[in-house]
């Protein structure tokens, strides 16, 4: 990246509002978000959000793509990588050890026949923690038994599990005894698990500007429509819950099938992003 382009990008990110938009899109990366959702999540007027998006696009930090009748804005990962590369190569003299934080310790390799396999801690986040993230916790606890430990939490947890979610879980034979809505803050207290993976399963949770999780977990956005907001008859609403459960079941089955211990972090991140886009299941059908 040329110095002039880097200067423009840094100046663009030097504005608090534009930086907030960019950070929100990075939390959704590599997926895109419509302008209205960006404005709503950040409390911006529509025309203000439009000005910020235009400036970020001109700086090469985001891109716009049309999907049907909607225009989705997404972080331009190539442009962002170029800016980071410029910073490391020029400002840090090609020595990332001067600028980057110390990486998290690499997981110890699994010792064949001498010790139990490493268990990976996984957290699923959504807003209410009454349906989608609860589904994910229950599914992973079953499909990943012995390899994964599953938890879920909400950014604004509700008072109890949604009755239709309870019905879906019971119909699929899950143990409900440990399932309850929990605030995300519960997992930031001393003694809380250190997570290897954190997945957001709703756009509202992905919009939240949360502090980084300890341990530098791999994160991905697996957003799904909120079945608790489905309209229609009781039968139509029940179908929405069943669809959410089915989509998460397919995604988690694909996740537990990955050779997690053998994959390098970047390759694993790409695979998880692909699962979030529904590339390995029938979510997009």
Could you tell me the CATH number of the domain that includes residue 29?
A: 1.10.10.10
Alpha carbon separation from 57 to 66, 101, 269, 276 (Å, rounded): 14, 28, 25, 24
Nearest partner of 256 among 178, 169, 151, 139, judged by Cα: 139
Task: Give the pLDDT confidence of 107-118 residue by residue, as tens digits.
Answer: 455 544 455 667
- Please give the Cα distance from 67 to 72 (Å, whole number): 7
- The per-residue pLDDT of the chain, averaged, comes to 86
Identify whether residues 54 and 7 lie together within a single domain: yes
Q: Which structural domain, as residue segments, surrounds residue 35?
A: 3-99
Please check whether residues 132 and 263 belong to one and the same domain: yes
In a domain, 198, yes or no: yes
Same domain, 95 and 124: no
Query: Does 269 share its domain with 233?
Result: yes
Same domain for 263 and 125:
yes
DSSP 193: P
Whether residues 141 and 8 fall in one domain: no
pLDDT of 285 reads: 39
The number of domains in the chain is: 2
pLDDT value at residue 171? 95
Which residue numbers in the chain have pLDDT < 70?
Answer: 91-117, 280-285
At 127, which CATH number?
3.40.50.2300
Sheet holding 62-67, edge to edge: 33-34, 70-75, 62-67
Asked, for residue 114, whether it belongs to a domain, the answer is no
Residue 115 has what pLDDT? 56
Residues 58 and 191 in one domain: no
* Residue 107 lies inside a defined structural domain of this protein: no
Tens-digit pLDDT profile for residues 246-272: 999 999 999 999 988 878 888 888 889
Q: Within this chain, do residues 128 and 264 fall inside the same structural domain, yes or no?
A: yes
Whether residues 22 and 127 share a domain: the answer is: no
Tell me, yes or no, whether 33 and 130 share the same domain. Answer: no
Domain boundary among 99, 132, 160: 99
Produce one character per residue of 35-61: b if its CB has 16 or more CB atoms within 10 Å, e if not. Answer: bebbbebbebeeeebeebbebbbebbb
Kindly state whether residue 71 falls inside one of the protein's structural domains. Answer: yes
> Does residue 110 belong to any structural domain of this protein?
no
Domain boundary among 69, 99, 129: 99
* 113 belongs to a structural domain: no
Instruction: Tell me, yes or no, whether 134 and 227 share the same domain.
Output: yes
Provide the pLDDT for residue 94.
Answer: 60
Query: Is residue 108, in this structure, part of any structural domain at all?
Result: no
**Within a domain: 204:** yes
Show the beta-strand stretches assigned E in the chain.
33-34, 62-67, 70-75, 120-126, 148-154, 197-200, 218-221
CA dist 219 and 102 (Å) reads: 18
Query: Are residue 7 and residue 125 in the same domain, yes or no?
Result: no
The pLDDT value recorded for residue 57 is 94
């Amino acid at each position: 990246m040329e110095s002039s382009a880097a200067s423009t990008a840094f100046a663009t990110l030097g504005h608090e509002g534009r930086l907030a938009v960019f950070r929100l899109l990075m939390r959704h990366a590599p997926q895109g978000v419509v302008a209205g959702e960006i404005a709503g999540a950040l409390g911006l007027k529509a025309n203000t959000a439009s000005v910020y998006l235009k400036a970020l696009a001109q700086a090469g930090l985001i891109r716009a793509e049309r999907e049907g009748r909607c225009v989705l804005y997404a972080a331009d990962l190539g442009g962002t990588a170029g800016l980071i590369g410029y910073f490391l190569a020029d400002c840090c003299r090609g020595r990332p050890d001067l600028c980057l934080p110390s990486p998290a310790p690499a997981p110890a390799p699994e010792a064949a026949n001498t010790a139990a396999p490493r268990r990976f801690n996984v957290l699923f986040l959504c807003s209410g923690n009454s349906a989608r993230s609860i589904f994910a916790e229950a599914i992973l606890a079953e499909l990943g038994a012995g390899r994964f430990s599953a938890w879920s939490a909400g950014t604004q947890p509700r008072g109890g599990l949604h009755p239709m979610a309870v019905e879906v879980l019971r119909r699929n034979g899950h143990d409900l005894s440990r399932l309850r809505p929990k605030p995300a803050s519960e997992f930031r207290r001393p003694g809380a698990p250190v997570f290897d993976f954190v997945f957001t399963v709703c756009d509202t949770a992905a919009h939240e500007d949360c502090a980084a999780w300890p341990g530098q977990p791999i994160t991905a956005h697996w957003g799904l429509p909120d079945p608790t907001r489905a309209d229609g008859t009781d039968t139509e609403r029940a179908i929405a819950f069943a669809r959410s459960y089915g989509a998460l079941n397919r995604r988690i089955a694909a996740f537990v099938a990955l050779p997690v211990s053998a994959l390098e972090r970047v390759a694993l991140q790409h695979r998880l992003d692909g699962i979030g886009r529904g590339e390995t299941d029938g979510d997009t059908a």
